[in-house]
Amino acid sequence: MKEMYYSNFSKPMYENIDKLIALGKIHGKKIILFGLNSSSYVIRDYLAEQGFNITAYIDNNEKKRAAFKEKIPAYSPEEMKQVYGLNKIVILIISKYYQAMKAQLESMGYKENRDIFQVIDMNDLEKYVDYSDILNMREIGAAELKEIQMALLRYMKNICEDKGLRYYLCGGTLLGAIRHKGYIPWDDDIDVVMPMADYKKFIKTINEMDDDYQVLSLYGHQKIFHGFYARLLCPDTLMKTWVYPCWETIGINIDIFPLFGLPEGEEEADRFATEMEELHVRCSEEFIKYLKPSKNFYKLQKDILERMEWFEFDKSRDIAYLFSRHKKKEIMPRDIYENSIMTEFEGELYPIPVGYDEYLRRLFGDHYMELPPEKERMSVHNYRAFVDKNWKFNC
């Protein structure tokens, strides 16, 4: 198996802040952070270490502003202008929506590189990725990547059937199975979900087998992996991925997400989900903040992993995987997974939850069978994939 590692983007962010300080762009000005999010909080702390205190946050989300608990005020951009005007303001932005945020501020009279500064360009993160380890490897395209992913899914199917483990296609892979009988045409990954007990047994089974396959997870790989899910890897391959807040070097893979139980009652389940989300945000902040993971980062990881096993999947009314972009939409009745049915995916049959229609409606809306607008038909993943030059298809 190739060497695997990951890193965050804190170093270039801090270097860009240092440049703004050196150029005198921040001195004597009211510092405003655009966005109530983990990245803003990390920049707040870094600025404090350099002797600068922020004046306020701004965010367009009224609910976020209302729920904000810091002593530092949080305004809408319009409120900020009323309070502070146009003079001696510096607005720092860390967001993939920078262009839209900049345009909003410019329409109010603020100017880029005078008042508005981008801390890191989310659309140009690849320049920080290390490619020094791809010598004697060749790059592959989407078609060959999907062949390898399908081989991994086939391998997983064989192991699960042999060991009696439950697994289901999920997310965009499930949507693709129902709407396209395979990959969504512009998608390029495979997502699978498993009840927590089956998930842990699968990880243990693969990593104890005497072959080249490996499952990367927090159960044994904390130093090289940080997600609250797992990845089944193909040997002798590398995939470089970059999406804020980190870039990774791992083998070509498929994603496996654990389903865990929630406490009884809608209010209790919602409270638990909120607490998990808050822990996850704190964990993300710790990850972004330091060049190397801190002790507190690993402590938060451990806390989250333990809570994921507080309520058994098979004894819970509601279940979820709470760390996807769908967040609380992922809270589902366990009945959705009461049984599985086999459906076609890329010419082969794989299990999906019997309640797939309710699942897809909850995540993608009632019109999930309709194609999205053409401008939205694009991959959300940034990657380049490689195999050894003499690599033979053995996944």
pLDDT in the model for residue 212: 83
pLDDT in the model for residue 259: 98
DSSP 12-23: HHHHHHHHHHHT
pLDDT in the model for residue 344: 98
Say whether pTM exceeds 0.85.
yes
The order of strands in the sheet holding 5-8 is 5-8, 246-250, 237-243, 383-388, 137-140
pLDDT in the model for residue 391: 79
pLDDT digits (tens, 9 = 90+) for 54-75: 999 999 999 999 999 889 999 9
pLDDT in the model for residue 366: 97
Chain-centroid distance, C-alpha 84: 35
> Side-chain half-sphere of 148: how many Cα atoms within 13 Å?
28
pLDDT in the model for residue 210: 75
Distant-in-sequence, close-in-space partners of 125: CB < 8 Å, separation ≥ 6: 9, 242, 243, 244, 247, 382
pLDDT in the model for residue 224: 87
pLDDT averaged over every residue in the chain: 94
Q: Report DSSP state, residue 264.
A: S
* Confidence check: pLDDT of 1 > 80: no
Kindly give the pairing relationship between strand 191-195 and strand 253-261: parallel
> Side-chain half-sphere of 196: how many Cα atoms within 13 Å?
23
Give the SS3 label for residue 203: helix
Give the containing element (helix H, strand E) for 319. strand 318-320
pLDDT digits (tens, 9 = 90+) for 193-204: 999 999 999 999
* Confidence check: pLDDT of 216 > 90: yes
Give the SS3 label for residue 224: coil
pLDDT digits (tens, 9 = 90+) for 147-200: 999 999 999 999 999 999 999 999 999 999 999 999 999 999 999 999 999 999
* Confidence check: pLDDT of 227 > 90: yes
Mean pLDDT is lowest, of 244-248, 335-339, 352-356, for 244-248
Q: Give the burial string for 96-106 (b: 16+ CB within 10 Å, else e).
A: eebeebbebbe
Kindly give the pairing relationship between strand 253-261 and strand 318-320: antiparallel
pLDDT in the model for residue 394: 65
pLDDT band at 291 (very low <50, low <70, confident <90, very high): confident
User: If we measure between CA atoms, which residue out of 140, 234, 142 comes closest to residue 186?
Assistant: 142
The order of strands in the sheet holding 74-75 is 74-75, 56-58, 30-34, 89-93, 116-118
pLDDT in the model for residue 4: 82
* Confidence check: pLDDT of 125 > 80: yes
Domains and CATH numbers, the chain: 7-123 (3.40.50.720), 128-388 (no CATH)
User: What is the C-alpha radius of gyration for the chain, rounded to an integer number of angstroms?
Assistant: 23
DSSP 269-307: HHHHHHHHHHHHHHHHHHHHH-SS--HHHHHHHHHHHHH
* Confidence check: pLDDT of 222 > 90: no
Peptide bond into 195 cis (omega under 30): no
Q: Report DSSP state, residue 122.
A: T
